[in-house]
């Protein structure tokens, strides 16, 4: 799309180009790091010092205790992480809920895992989902739901209420209620 947009002088909505440089502190740290003894292959699931630093950071943001050797794998970007997660979670024939519009790789990840996407619309102006549509999607017993928050490309930030509703449907599915309705008779 970038090549075609350039060819026609169109506004390119296919590719994000930040109009600012990375923070100076980051550039200085990066330069310093290139002078260190860091030029050999790391262990394949991530350099220990990096995983240890992540294990110190993650609890501050999530409240989750993380063991750097048991719980962390460093991937080459989030594209690889998503693909690994999808192939771990899904078997051929499974279903995956994808909010639409979606970041392009999510459906490719789903299909490459042999799973089938169930699209749930996010509708402008606030890109909210219809609770009944999501409930119907959960009735198909999906194996996974892709939650991109804030979402690319809409920029939608899911509200606490929406996240709790998604969690409630997921818990209902886990607890086996979704042969019928993941929320039972309770409603949202
Ligand atoms: C939602 C989303 N996921 C993944 C990616 C790609 O990330 P990475 O370069 O870490 O693989 C992008 C890039 O724009 C993105 O917007």
Hey, whose CA ends up nearest to atom 10 of ligand 1? 77
Instruction: Give 96's contacts (C-beta < 8 A, 6+ positions apart).
Output: 86, 90, 110, 113, 115, 116, 117, 118, 142, 143, 144, 145, 146
Cα separation, 113 vs 108, in Å, equals 8
Alpha-helical segments (H) within 90-130: 105-112
For 23-81, what is each residue's pLDDT tens digit?
Answer: 999 999 999 989 988 888 889 999 999 999 999 999 999 999 999 999 999 999 999 99
Instruction: Looking at the structure, tell me whether residues 177 and 97 fall in a common domain.
Output: yes
Burial environment of residue 156 by CB neighbours within 10 A (0 to 12, 13 to 18, 19 or more): buried
Q: Using CA of residue 41, residue 42, residue 46, residue 51, what is the dihedral sign?
A: negative
The rounded percent of the chain whose pLDDT value lies above 90 is: 81
CATH number of the domain to which 147 belongs: 3.40.640.10
Distance 178 CA to ligand 1 centre (A): 32
Last residue of a domain, one of 43, 74, 105: 74
- The answer to whether 59 and 65 have CB atoms below 8 angstroms apart is yes
Instruction: Looking at the structure, tell me whether residues 37 and 100 fall in a common domain.
Output: no
Identify the pLDDT of residue 177. Answer: 63
Structural domain including 68 reads 21-74
- Atom of ligand 1 lying closest to residue 80 CA: 11
Instruction: Looking at the structure, tell me whether residues 126 and 177 fall in a common domain.
Output: yes
Instruction: Looking at the structure, tell me whether residues 116 and 64 fall in a common domain.
Output: no
Identify the pLDDT of residue 89. Answer: 96
Q: Is the pTM of this model over 0.85?
A: no
């Amino acid at each position: 799309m970038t090549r075609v947009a350039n060819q026609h002088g169109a506004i390119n909505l296919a590719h994000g180009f930040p109009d600012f440089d990375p923070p100076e502190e980051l550039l200085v740290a990066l330069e310093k790091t290139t002078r260190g003894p860091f030029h050999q292959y790391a262990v394949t699931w991530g350099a220990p010092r990096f995983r240890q630093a992540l294990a110190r950071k993650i609890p501050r943001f999530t409240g989750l205790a993380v063991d750097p050797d048991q719980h962390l794998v460093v991937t080459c970007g989030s594209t690889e992480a998503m693909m690994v997660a999808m192939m771990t979670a899904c078997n051929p024939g499974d279903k995956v809920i994808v909010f639409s519009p979606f970041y392009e790789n999510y459906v490719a990840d789903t299909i490459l895992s042999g799973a089938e996407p169930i699209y749930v619309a996010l509708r402008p102006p606030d890109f909210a989902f219809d609770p009944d549509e999501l409930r119907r999607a959960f009735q198909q017993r999906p194996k996974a739901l892709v939650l991109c928050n804030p979402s690319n490309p809409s920029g939608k930030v899911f509200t606490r209420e929406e996240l709790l509703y998604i969690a409630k449907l997921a818990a209902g599915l886990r607890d086996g209620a979704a042969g019928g309705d993941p929320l039972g008779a309770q409603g949202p």
